[in-house]
Chain A
Amino acid sequence: MTTVYVPCDSSAVSVGADEVAAALAAVEGVQVLRNGSRGMLWAEPLVEVVTERGRVGYAGVSAEDVPRLVAAGLLTGEDTPECLGVVDEHEWLRSQRRVSFARVGLIEPTDIAAYGEHGGWAGLRRALSLAPADVVAEVTTSGLRGRGGAGFPAGVKWRTVLDAPAGLRFVVCNLDEGDSGTFADRMLCEGDPFTLIEGMVIAAHATGASEGYVYCRSEYPAVVTTLRRAIEVAYAHGYLGERITGSDLSFDLELRVGAGAYICGEETSMLESLEGRRGEVRAKPPIPALHGLFGRPTVINNTLTFAAVPMILADGGAAYAALGTGRSRGTQVFQLAGNIARGGIVEADFGISLGDLVTGYGGGTLSGRPVRAVQVGGPLGAYLPVDRLDVPMDYEALAAAGGMLGHGGIVVFDDTVDMARQARFAMEFCAAESCGKCTPCRVGAVRGVETLDRIIAGVRREDNLLLLEDLCTTMTKGSLCAMGGLTPMPVRSAVQHWPEDFDAPAVHDIPSSGGSGP
């Protein structure tokens, strides 16, 4: 019997992995296992065959290819044009430092025995042997900062919850990964969901929480299915519920699903949504660590923050802190997206340059044309020109370069991109997704679209650029959260780095609002 892995990850499935798995399952003597994705999305569907040398990979396999590849010796790992060799030895993977993603793609996602065999639960075992304050101390030592984008030190947040007045506390995982160009939360939870569960159980022990929620966006149905299944399995094996693994810790975990609102990735909107209300942001203070879900002390962290915790507890905070640079410790799960030849997950130490990611791992554009712009950090992140590709990827260096790391998404555009249209889209997106609470965001984004339409149409361009700048200042200073506060970042960066795109002869249809106003 030959064992063949075909990913069940929804990206792999989106390009035909289910059909490939069915075709291989029909071959005599083949056992097909469905693993998560290795993160080499450029190679999906990536078929891996277990051989004496290791798992040999075949890239971009389609169901129609299967008979030919089997005839060419796929089941014994023979070389073909699609063959990548032993996947673990492939330079693209080997050169990465997989910490949070250590198991993703190796095992079947909800196989709890395989999870344990690959190092799972080691962090939880050590955490349960420590007092809560000592677990918090390990996280503080690790230097772990919030991976959702704000970069707030996780240890400080956990300490605040631990020190809160006694009573009911919650742990909440933000799995509302709405930024375009980000997909790491999705791939982790589709490929290795027990890592998230383990991280949340450790957080519960560290902060005295007894209940937890995962808030997952509805655009990720495969995550909902896989993570719900993993939660069931974890309950059945004593890793959730009463007296976890025989300890004094009891913790219940439930997955809740969003309903198509980007703003619910903002932590206070997410709390409102969990409580059953419109996802409108709350003013801070009070901070959620003290006055969070249902008014109780609440640890809210991003999926990737929790995913880093098991290793930090297993190997010690100092081991994690030894990685990275400056005040950005550990590894970051970068996500290469957009017009890129080799897109996917690159987990590396903080400090790797943007260029190493885009042209090194990414191999430049998919179209083969020159890179013109790279948007880092999602729809609220800056567009950077190619002369900024030397920027080291850490929180402070990116801020100094006029950008932000956000959730680690990197979207590449080739030289056909029109940056005035991208600036307009940033405002259009804000207008569509604003929760409506703050006027500068709710109304400002609509005015931003109108103003950019006039600029694009060539109507009083200099006056309108001035007006746009003024509007950006108002939005930045007058919005409670990052939606209105950071939408100006992509807009301003586009104007700053590509002024020529805002000065081109009018080529687009003049919108109806274009002729009036300032």
Chain B
Amino acid sequence: MSHGTQTDAAATRAATVRRIAEQHASARGPLMPALHGVVAELGHIDPLDVPVVADVLNLSVAEVHGVVSFYTDFRTRPAPAHTVHLCRAESCQALGSQPLYEDTVRRFAGREDVEVDHVFCFGNCPLGPSGTVDGRLHGRLTPERITRLTQDWQP
């Protein structure tokens, strides 16, 4: 990739971020909706996006960085191809979520295309252990069900 292409890509991205931030600029407290917008459209918030958002919303770079780094959902790297997010909160613990979580972490260890992470509660408590596979919520999860749900994932 030539230097010129990189610069073009960065400029295109900055223009997109600017457009998203401008869409929210007239709202009260626009920062959270603007950051959600960036993640929804571009997948993550790049460190280079932060000054653009700050400029549009008339905030300091530090304020925007502070918010991005506070909230779990504002990922700062591109998302992997697949995600498994398992609940580790009390209600799912009572139904065996901890061994399921540890088993899943081991299963996908070393796979850069799969992100295994924990979440504290999906509100599906009586039907735990609960988790999302590529964003879709499943209840009564077992290692066997995770195998079936992820069998098409090629490393």
Contact = CB atoms under 8 A, between A and B. Distances in A.
B32 A273 contact: yes
Interface stretch (B1-9, B10-18, B71-79, B107-115): B71-79
| A interface majority secondary structure | mixed
Most buried by B among A221, A294, A337: A337
B124 A14 contact: yes
Contacts of A41: 126-127
A249 interface: no
A343 B89 contact: no
A183 interface: yes
Contacts of A10: 122-124, 137
Contacts of A221: 135
Contacts of A366: 95
A182 B123 contact: yes
Nearest to B66: A278
A498 interface: no
Interface string A164-189: 00000000000001111111011100
A180 B32 contact: no
Interface in A159-218: 177-183, 185-187, 211, 218
B139 A15 contact: yes
A274 interface: yes
Interface stretch (A89-97, A259-267, A447-455, A472-480): A259-267
Most buried by B among A181, A274, A339, A429: A181
B104 interface: no
Closest 3 CB pairs of A and B: A343-B126, A276-B31, A260-B72
A256 B28 CA distance: 11
Give the size category of A's interface with B.
Answer: 35 or more
B124 A11 contact: yes
Nearest to A345: B126
A219 B121 contact: yes
A425 B33 CA distance: 32
A133 to B, nearest CB: 28
A336 B126 CA distance: 7
A414 B94 contact: yes
Contacts of B137: 10, 13-14
Nearest to B121: A180
Interface in A328-348: 335-340, 343-344
Nearest to B93: A425
Given A256-B33, A274-B29, A343-B126, A14 B138 contact: yes
B125 A276 contact: no
Contacts of B121: 178-180, 182, 219
B66 A15 contact: no
A186 B74 contact: no
Nearest to A413: B94
B94 to A, nearest CB: 4
A11 B137 CA distance: 8
B61 interface: no
A177 B94 contact: no
Nearest to A429: B120
A259 B72 contact: yes
Contacts of A262: 120
Nearest to B35: A259
A11 B28 contact: no
A128 interface: no
A261 B73 CA distance: 9
Give the size category of B's interface with A.
Answer: 35 or more
A277 interface: yes
B42 interface: no
A259 B39 CA distance: 11
A220 B73 CA distance: 13
A277 B63 contact: yes
Contacts of B36: 257, 259
B89 to A, nearest CB: 3
B125 A259 contact: no
A405 to B, nearest CB: 16
A276 B126 contact: no
A296 to B, nearest CB: 10
A273 B29 CA distance: 8
Given A179-B121, A181-B90, A11 B72 contact: no
Given A13-B137, A259-B35, A273-B32, A180 B125 contact: yes
Contacts of A274: 29, 32
Contact of A180 (B29, B66, B89): B89
Interface string A243-282: 0000000000000111111100000000001111111000
A180 B120 contact: yes
A44 interface: yes
Interface in B88-103: 89-95
B124 A183 contact: yes
Interface string A13-43: 1110000000000000000000000000110
A11 B90 contact: no
Contacts of B89: 180-181, 379, 429
Given A179-B121, A259-B73, A422 B90 contact: yes
A294 B29 CA distance: 9
A344 B91 CA distance: 12
A339 B71 contact: no
16 contacts: A11-B126, A14-B137, A178-B120, A181-B89, A182-B121, A183-B124, A185-B123, A187-B123, A219-B121, A219-B122, A221-B135, A259-B72, A259-B74, A337-B125, A338-B95, A429-B89
Contact of B90 (A15, A259, A261, A375): A375
